[in-house]
Structure 1
Amino acid sequence: MSRTPRPSVRRQDASGLMRTSSPVLVGRGDQLGALLAAVPRQPAVIMIEGEAGVGKSRLVRELLDSELGPMAVLMGYCQPVGEPFPYGAVLEALRDASDRLARNHPRLSPVAGVIGPLLPELAEYLPEAPASTGDPRTERHRLFRAMRELLSVLGPVLLVVEDLHWADDGSRQLLRFLMGDPPANLSIVVTYRREDVPGGVPLGSAYRPPSGITSVLLELGPLDVDEVRALTSAILDEEAVSAEFATKLHERTAGIPFVVEETLRALRNPAGAVHADGATARRLLDNVDVPVLLRDAMAERLAALPTTATRLAQAAAVLGVPAPAELLGEVAAIGESRVRAALTHALTGHVLHEVDSGRYGFRHALAQQAVYDTLSGPDRQQLHNRAIEALDQVEPRPLVQLAEHSERAGRTAAWLHYGEAAADRAAEIGDAGTATALLQRLLVEPTVPAADVDRLAIKLGQVAHLGLDQHDPTEALERLLSDRRLSTPARGEVRLYRGLLLVRQAGGVEEARSEIEMAIADLTERPDLAAKGAAVLGQPFMGMTPLREFEPWLARTDRYREATDDNELRISLMANEMGSKLHTGDPSVLANLDRLPDTVSTPGEQRQLARAHCNLADACTSTGHFRLANDLLRSGLRYAAECGAPFVVSTARATKARLDWLTGDWDGLAERAGRLLDEYRDLFPVASELCLVLGSLAMARGEWAEATSYLTETGAFVPEESIAPVAIAGCAALATTMLSQDEVTRACVDVDRGVSILRTKGVWAWATELGPVAVATFLAAGREMDAENLIEDVAAGIEGRDAPMSVAALAQCRGRLAEARGQLDVAVSHYREAVDRYERLPAPYFAALVAEREAICLLPSDNDKATEILSTLIDTFDSLGATRDAARCRHLLRGMGGGKPSRRGRRGYGNELSPREQEVARLLAAGHTNREIADVLFLSPRTVEQHAARVLRKLGVSSRAELQAEDLS
């Protein structure tokens, strides 16, 4: 949760320095709310507890920046000084009380005079100091009473004491006295780190707040991943911080805000790094130097430890992962009898922490790195060798750790042995990211023999093709193609896998086709691999290559499939071939679904079966077999999860999001698609389809800017590098947003681009969403002949094809043309056919849009029927979440002289938001102006202004800016 009390500022100032702290408070909204509620309810005692860097001072600063009314703020800071300064923190705070004393001229009892010698700044406002009693206890009690009395005459006061863990005993006792019986006008806020408090008791003795005062204990913990992401975004003024970067940053910093800020400061290019994928983010963050403040703090802590505890900490730094005490002692070469004492010192010195039961490590990766950096080269090498010896006895052997230690110890042969074994194990359990990272590191090593390079390079291509990490493996394979150690037979296979990875990347389609064609030429002795390449080149949805150029590759794939005895390869080729043919509306595919096996015997075969089901589901979604698509997705996802096929899962989840959009299952869809986009942003085929879904949803809500922002990422503007059916649908949605705003000329631009893609590709089954909006746009622009020609082309293109969504769209197009020509009876007939076909799919949103046109055509001849249809459509659009469409139907009803009849009479909403007010609130929170909201909801700006005023009043906010800071989801 975050709060935005001040306007945001740019990431860099005039000097070019990066902002080093967040302009907004992140992850502490509840705690700040508790503070703001408690402080005015005097007397009040608030204790804020949390580890170093967790944000205690920032929370206090936010409190002090808020509106505190007439309350005076007195600030005191405890310092880690060598010599104690008795009562130092409170005395420092009271120095700021002189103005209040000067204004109030309070009458103080003689006991208050004891403060004068301690605070000469206030002496002129205090009585003369009474004679000393000579009894230290009495003198201390006098002072405490005097302090309390002085605070009681200052009016409303907020006393803040920071870093209580460093306080002298006198300050602790004084605060304990004040907090035990605070004057009625006083609120006290103290902050401390419990781990650094002597004896763990902040006030020196147990404290229980007395009855009758407001008492709050706030325990601040680290931020979670989402909060780290929000903090990063705020600091760098970058909205699109990748989920992968935030996850890796959270791992490295343990979510401690100060450590996050220092790490971002240390990044050389933070603005670019935050968009990185998982592998890149890890590499960038692992290479960040330990910030100076953190390094110095850790050096100070190490210096305070006995030698054995320091050695234990250094062993933990070399191991790099939490470890049991016995393993730490073995690596540190400390005898068993001394390990416990050394570990105790390291724990109490806050160098090591108990990560979980019986395992010890560092609070975060930067602390571990700071200790590791204190070791000399020979010492590091010695400890890594000891780690290898110790870990080699563990069962099962931690192969990744053994590989890491072997590399750092300079033992190349052992590193190759353990690294490849670790990669094999990771691949077996479906952890492709770990496997590819290990293989890439091995292949960079120039001393790896040529024979090993062939094997490792092929493994890298195979594993990367199954996983989600794309950019780094693709670049690694490109480097290998120019590596002299790579043999000619292996080169073709490496080139093939590079091409397969390029297909998944933005801007990689054309290069991918070229690379795969060259690979096939090199794979004459590997017909199985050549077949895989041909199957990819036969997929018609890649770029702007016409269907006629895909067909020879499809035929070649068919011949490979018939000739092979390899069941896994056969299923793999069928997955591509059947999916590709169904995309074009080939009616033979669904008739021959039984060619796919029901059961398989190996994980590889299951992976290909999962791919076959998910590819067919994608084609079914594109052509309109929605129920079958849902069944195939369910089985495909189950197979993929069982055998470990994360890329197949990613494509299936994107297909499911698109299917949900088409079938009207919109509840929570925007949130689900948004999370998936965060997860798969670097996989272009997946990300572009998710952007299409998110853009289409925003379009239906009438949020044009958001819709356009997403739809530009569908490939609509770069069709040669796109997934063609997604790009065509993206053009359709862009045109719809323009047409809805009466921007006919701009809608024509989008429609012409989409029709050009469609004509070039020659796959008319993909006209499902473009056809109707293209015809509507052409007619609005006076281009009736273009509309007629397009209808004829679509009709000819889907003749004899199995494409039920396109058939429904064609009926809608014909209705539009008839309506434009004034043939309303003919139009109604076509619209009724389209509605029936859409409903059978089912595609309720598309059916409702056509039913609206039907109602408009019925207006002159059957007003009652038209009214009935529009009234029903309002409920349909509202239930879907199509705000703009529901509002348009209401507007039509109002124009007919009526409104939607209520089944139960008009209800009052009191202090709750009405449905219309909820729509206004959502649009206000998104930053829309009254005029923009009026356009979306078909209301007058004056009506929107009245709704907006009621929204602000009912939600208890004073401005639109405050509303935009609220979470209305």
Structure 2
Amino acid sequence: MTRSSAFVGRSAELESLRALLLPRETAAFAVVEGEAGIGKSRLVREALASVDRTVLIGRCREPFPYGAILDALHGLTTTAERPNQITGVLRTLLPEITHLLPSEPTPVGDRRFDRHRIFRAVRELLAALGPAVLVIEDLHWADDDTRHLVRFLITDPPPELALVVTFRREELPAGLNGRRPPESVPRAHISLRPFTISEVRALIGEECASAEALHERTAGIPFVVEETLRWGSDGVPPMVREELLERLARLPITANRVAQAAAVLGVAETAEVIGEVAGLTPQRCRVALTAALAAGVLREVGDCRYGFRHSFAQQSVHDTVPGPDRRELHLRALRVLERREPKPLLRLAEHSRRAGVLTNWMRYGEAAAAQATESGDHATATDLLQRLLEEPELAAADVNRLAVRLGQSAHVGIDQLDPIATLRRLLGDRRLATAVRGEVRLFLGMLLIRQDGDLSAGLAEIELAVRELAERPNLAVKGVAVLAQPFLGSAPLPVLRRWQKQLHDGVFDCADPELRVSLLASHLPARLHIGEGGGVRELLAALPEDVATPGEQRQLARAHCNLADACTSIGHYEWADSLLVSGLRLANDCGAPFVVSTARATQARLDWFTGAWSGLADRCMRLLDEYHDLFPVSSELSLVLGLLAVARGEWDEAARWFAATGVTRPREAIGPVAIDACAGLTRMWLSKGEPEAAAQAADDGLKLLRDKGIWSWSGDMAPVAVTALLGTGREHDAYRVVDDLETGIAGLDAPLPAAALLTCRAQLAEARGDRSGAIELHRAATTRYEKIGAPYFAALATERELLCRMDGDRSQEELAALAETFDDFGATRDAARCRHLLRGLGGGTPSRRGRRGYGNELSPREQDVARLLAQGRTNREIAEVLFLSPRTVEQHVARALRKLGVSSRGELLT
């Protein structure tokens, strides 16, 4: 691992080693073992950083006598006391430090005696240093003299020397294990394991889209992870390849052949299979396999199966095999695996392709894709179909069949980018039949609308496909179902109604059960989004309770999850929660990963509305890691992260997340997401005390609402827009918003905007001096928000009411309780604002929960300060967020740093 990289995990191991290296009057001994690249040297470096001793480091490189020990000693400049006379025998070996050594004694002439004198001399020289640490790195590569000298120092160490040795156990020569220091010597044996997925994620931060995938490719070995990040994902990192090839070079020819056969097989296999593919007799294979295992090229994976530590090792060896030999090995693997039942179709397809057997590649590849689709593994099916379609010798019938199957598989799955490129290329392929072209274009459009920046292009492709599919109405209506969705693109409500009328007719004209459920899954949520559903219960009654096929179940899952999304947007939160439970169960049962992705994003936004914020930000980050290529999903998750950041007073974070929603490109954005992002930006600017910027953000959100004409999405936008407009003296515009809202939701099923209307009217009453009317309306809004299950909005309405009727001690108590309510959400900024208001009123009485001492734990305020410190905020910026004085923040900072055991802001950031 590089010095500049973050030090991740290993906290227990680090503390163990640090404790051992503390200055003491006795010797100490530590062993740090682990495979190549596991981070042995990095752990030792981190431990040495805080050591107050003379530090000597020797590395076992070239096998020359006493190499690592001399490497460690040659740079000495001083000793604590004059070295013993015996150390003079080192003058020849260490000419760089002769000024520290006494004169050389007369050689005895007996090699064994002279070597023992060197051992004693090294020990005495180390003893003369006083408190010191001697680190011997990579002891497995040491020469015989160094190994014997280390054994001597272990069994008879200088009194103040801490000896640390690192090695790879699998390469350690016999004779070093079992050596123990005297019982009085403190010792530690540290065995390092690979990183977990969470530790890989912590190491890479935001540099990599998928920690899980990186962990799988690298087996969690820190060096391999870092080299992969440094060189990108294309091919094997050079240093990883070189390290593996060095090991191969030390192996006999038969062991190389075994490694090549294992690399071609790709997965761990038995010795019998490896030997047959390698063309070796069982006896020769056993000897060769043993050599490959001893060198660390192969490892035992499970019982009696052998393979590589990570995929880069396998790829490195595979790439060393010359082309003709590689083809022959794949042919042998094909023959061996064809004897198995059931046939491993995916492996047979891959070996057929690499062996150049096109007929088998087509047969096994298409069968493997069908098998993957049936099992819900749409990513594998999509990849196989794409690669099959790249074959230049495919017949037209094969191209047409496989193109449609590719579109179907990609549409259900979550792998989008490569299939888009393939489908675009196919539209220009002369082999593609006219009857198939519209269907391929339809799938292309449906994939494009999932990509950031391609939504309008995708809708245009779908509209063209609908015209091309005029003679195939059952396919054309699928395109109509997409064009009828309110949340896609900039089409206003009158245009949407025309598409929805066609969709309605298509539903009731449809005789195919699966298609009918599919159309209902689009039609019913579209009606609910615009508030014209006639009630959730009525819409659910139109759906079948039982379905007959996996395809129908997938569409029923879509229907439940899409309805949940609409319920979340308009304020039916209890229905949304119930629908998500049933929708996710159906989607997981039948294998519908794209439906699952949208449902998980909807769940995150629902949790925001319903105040279930604990762990929400971390969950959104994990989901973004998984679904970063799906814009409808990633934009919704980014919205939630932005809204959470505003509530915590993290302005830069909030602005970054809102930008990721596509709010600046409404034609390419998801409608309700973009509108709520404008609401979040308005709230952010209001919190920062910048009314003009808040009013501009409000204008942007109101324009989106008015252009779409869908006021059922105004529940978050309308109240903050009225606040921003009134705050800049635009009372007339504020009244217009309320009038538009009232007209826009009249007769609609839209619980959240209905509650928002009460808040808007209350603000207008307050602006015209009707204090009692404002109080009554705010109270009614609070009740309505609580009834629909939106506690954060209820708390904001309560705060507005309290500000209207500040009436002595009772209001102060309620404001203190409200601050704690915001704390429970994690709304740091809102809680701080309430406490600031309370201090201004002369409040400061203990909370309803009483005060408690936190000891060495961080108090809630110290937690807020530490979190903001970790983002690089200055004291003044923290004071602004938390409504505190810089002096108070300074005190909180000092206490937080002390309790966290760090001495500076920089150390906290690290």
TM-score, length of structure 1 as denominator length: 0.90
Q: 1:627 to 1:142 in 2, by over 3 A?
A: same
Partner of 2:169: 194
The residue correspondences of 1:39-58 to structure 2 (distance < 5 A) are 39-42=21-24, 43-58=27-42
The residue correspondences of 1:783-802 to structure 2 (distance < 5 A) are 783-802=730-749
Partner of 1:691: 638
Matching residue's letter, 1:68: V
Partner of 2:337: 391
Partner of 1:12: none
- Alpha-carbon displacement from aligned partner over 1:920-948 (angstroms, at most 9, x marks no partner): 22222222211221122111112111221
Q: 1:706 to 1:120 in 2, by over 3 A?
A: closer
Q: Distance in 2 between matches of 1:338 and 1:487?
A: 56
User: SS of the counterpart of 1:735?
Assistant: helix
Q: Distance in 2 between matches of 1:456 and 1:380?
A: 29
Partner of 1:165: 140
Q: Distance in 1 between matches of 2:822 and 2:201?
A: 35
- On the 8 A contact 2:154/2:180 being kept in 1, the answer is no
Q: Distance in 1 between matches of 2:191 and 2:81?
A: 39
The residue correspondences of 1:818-967 to structure 2 (distance < 5 A) are 818-859=765-806, 862-903=807-848, 906-965=851-910
Q: Distance in 1 between matches of 2:285 and 2:573?
A: 64
Partner of 1:716: 663
User: SS of the counterpart of 2:166?
Assistant: strand
The residue correspondences of 1:236-315 to structure 2 (distance < 5 A) are 239-243=206-210, 246-265=211-230, 267=231, 270=232, 285=233, 287-288=234-235, 291=238, 293-315=239-261
Partner of 1:544: 490
Q: 1:879 to 1:125 in 2, by over 3 A?
A: closer
Partner of 1:211: 183
709-718 vs 329-338, greater mean Cα deviation = 329-338
User: SS of the counterpart of 1:45?
Assistant: strand
Q: Distance in 2 between matches of 1:41 and 1:650?
A: 55
- Alpha-carbon displacement from aligned partner over 1:621-669 (angstroms, at most 9, x marks no partner): 1111111111110000000010000111111111111111101111111
Matching residue's letter, 1:816: Q
- Alpha-carbon displacement from aligned partner over 1:832-853 (angstroms, at most 9, x marks no partner): 1111100001111101101111
Q: 2:78 aligns with which of 84, 97, 100?
A: 100
Q: Distance in 1 between matches of 2:711 and 2:453?
A: 24
Query: How much is the aligned-residue C-alpha RMSD, in angstroms?
Result: 2.1
Measure how far apart 1:506 and its partner are.
0.9
- On the 8 A contact 2:262/2:274 being kept in 1, the answer is yes
Q: 2:359 aligns with which of 406, 413, 432?
A: 413
Matching residue's letter, 1:674: M
Partner of 2:264: 318
- On the 8 A contact 2:195/2:222 being kept in 1, the answer is yes
- On the 8 A contact 1:893/1:900 being kept in 2, the answer is no
Q: Distance in 1 between matches of 2:403 and 2:700?
A: 41
Q: Distance in 1 between matches of 2:533 and 2:810?
A: 38
- On the 8 A contact 2:676/2:716 being kept in 1, the answer is yes
Figure out how many residues of one structure are paired with residues of the other and give that number: 907
Measure how far apart 1:481 and its partner are.
0.5
Measure how far apart 1:107 and its partner are.
6.0
- On the 8 A contact 1:758/1:767 being kept in 2, the answer is yes
- On the 8 A contact 1:75/1:92 being kept in 2, the answer is yes
Measure how far apart 1:63 and its partner are.
4.1
Matching residue's letter, 1:953: R
Asked if 1:24 is matched to 2:2, the reply is no
Q: Percent identity?
A: 57
Measure how far apart 1:380 and its partner are.
1.5
- On the 8 A contact 2:81/2:129 being kept in 1, the answer is no
790-799 vs 152-161, greater mean Cα deviation = 152-161
- On the 8 A contact 1:855/1:865 being kept in 2, the answer is no
Partner of 1:5: none
User: SS of the counterpart of 1:217?
Assistant: strand
Matching residue's letter, 1:876: T
Q: 1:454 aligns with which of 395, 400, 410?
A: 400
Question: Which of structure 1's runs of 4+ aligned residues deviate more than 6 A?
Answer: none
Q: 1:149 to 1:873 in 2, by over 3 A?
A: same
- Alpha-carbon displacement from aligned partner over 1:678-715 (angstroms, at most 9, x marks no partner): 11111111111111111111111111111111111122
Q: 2:194 aligns with which of 207, 211, 222?
A: 222
User: SS of the counterpart of 2:78?
Assistant: helix
User: SS of the counterpart of 2:301?
Assistant: strand
Measure how far apart 1:125 and its partner are.
4.5
Q: 1:259 to 1:673 in 2, by over 3 A?
A: closer
Q: Distance in 2 between matches of 1:908 and 1:616?
A: 48
Measure how far apart 1:358 and its partner are.
1.8
Q: Distance in 1 between matches of 2:200 and 2:831?
A: 38
Q: 2:709 aligns with which of 762, 769, 776?
A: 762
Q: Distance in 2 between matches of 1:112 and 1:60?
A: 28
Q: 1:911 to 1:264 in 2, by over 3 A?
A: closer
Matching residue's letter, 2:506: Y
Q: 1:879 to 1:904 in 2, by over 3 A?
A: closer
The residue correspondences of 1:451-850 to structure 2 (distance < 5 A) are 451-590=397-536, 591-850=538-797
Matching residue's letter, 2:82: P
Q: 1:296 to 1:688 in 2, by over 3 A?
A: closer
Q: 2:44 aligns with which of 40, 51, 60?
A: 60
Measure how far apart 1:115 and its partner are.
3.6
User: SS of the counterpart of 2:162?
Assistant: strand
Measure how far apart 1:215 and its partner are.
1.2
Measure how far apart 1:789 and its partner are.
0.7
User: SS of the counterpart of 1:187?
Assistant: strand
Q: Distance in 2 between matches of 1:898 and 1:366?
A: 64
Measure how far apart 1:733 and its partner are.
0.5
Measure how far apart 1:905 and its partner are.
5.2
Q: 1:152 aligns with which of 111, 127, 133?
A: 127
Measure how far apart 1:442 and its partner are.
0.8
List alignment gaps of at least 5 residues for structure 2. none
User: SS of the counterpart of 2:320?
Assistant: coil
User: SS of the counterpart of 2:57?
Assistant: strand
- On the 8 A contact 1:49/1:193 being kept in 2, the answer is yes
- Alpha-carbon displacement from aligned partner over 1:489-534 (angstroms, at most 9, x marks no partner): 1111101111111111111221111111111112123221111111
The residue correspondences of 1:179-190 to structure 2 (distance < 5 A) are 179-190=154-165
- Alpha-carbon displacement from aligned partner over 1:211-267 (angstroms, at most 9, x marks no partner): 33221222223333444455456xxxxx44212xx44443333333333444445x4
- Alpha-carbon displacement from aligned partner over 1:122-155 (angstroms, at most 9, x marks no partner): 5554455555566655544444333222211212
487-496 vs 952-961, greater mean Cα deviation = 952-961
- On the 8 A contact 2:83/2:125 being kept in 1, the answer is no
Matching residue's letter, 2:740: D
- On the 8 A contact 1:22/1:231 being kept in 2, the answer is no
Partner of 1:35: 17
User: SS of the counterpart of 1:75?
Assistant: strand
Measure how far apart 1:752 and its partner are.
0.5
Q: 1:210 to 1:514 in 2, by over 3 A?
A: same
Matching residue's letter, 1:256: I
